[in-house]
Amino acid sequence: MITEPRIKSYLSEHYGNDTYRTLDGYLANGGFAGLRRALTLEPAEIVQMVKDSGLRGRGGAGFPAGLKWSFMPASAERTKVLVANGDESEPGSFKDRLIMERGPFQIIEGIAIAARATGSTKAYLYIRGEYAHPARVMEQAIEQAYAAGWLGQGIGRKKGFDLDLYVHRGAGAYICGEETGL
């Protein structure tokens, strides 16, 4: 008998545990450890680590995340803004909806790490208009993250790293989630 090796799913390993959707449950399972680590590093170090990891976007192109983050100028005269795309317009795909509903704090932590790496102080999570429930879940998680100091002024007690995160609902058209359309 031939058996297939078991592949561990790190992204969704806790999704069957309803407490993981709460801030306390997320923290109890190691949540925000990545952000804590990122707060000890310089932005360029974070970008290089992500490049070295081979992390790719979850969209159709699978674009290297670290390379995309490196496109943000190191210094800028204007406020830097990060946009996370939760539009999920690929036919038959429910990856974004699942992570928003089952792991909202993973998204918040990832956005905060990306913001730290790029020097962004504002971030928008773009969610397709049809995703009313995931949008509510994310909005509630964002409120909790602000209250616990994981968003807002001095994130993680790191003076000088501030991040405001907003949910923006889409208009229901494919082009709304396209990179230049965002």
82-94 pLDDT, tens digit per residue, is 999 888 776 666 7
Task: Specify the pairing of strand 81-86 against strand 164-169.
Answer: unpaired
Instruction: Tell me how far apart the alpha carbons of residues 52 and 46 are, in angstroms, rounded to a whole number.
Output: 10
Residue in 82, 84, 76 with CA at minimum distance from that of residue 58: 84
pLDDT, one tens digit per residue, over 141-169 is 999 999 999 999 999 776 779 999 999 99
pTM to 2 decimal places: 0.88
pLDDT band at 176 (very low <50, low <70, confident <90, very high): low
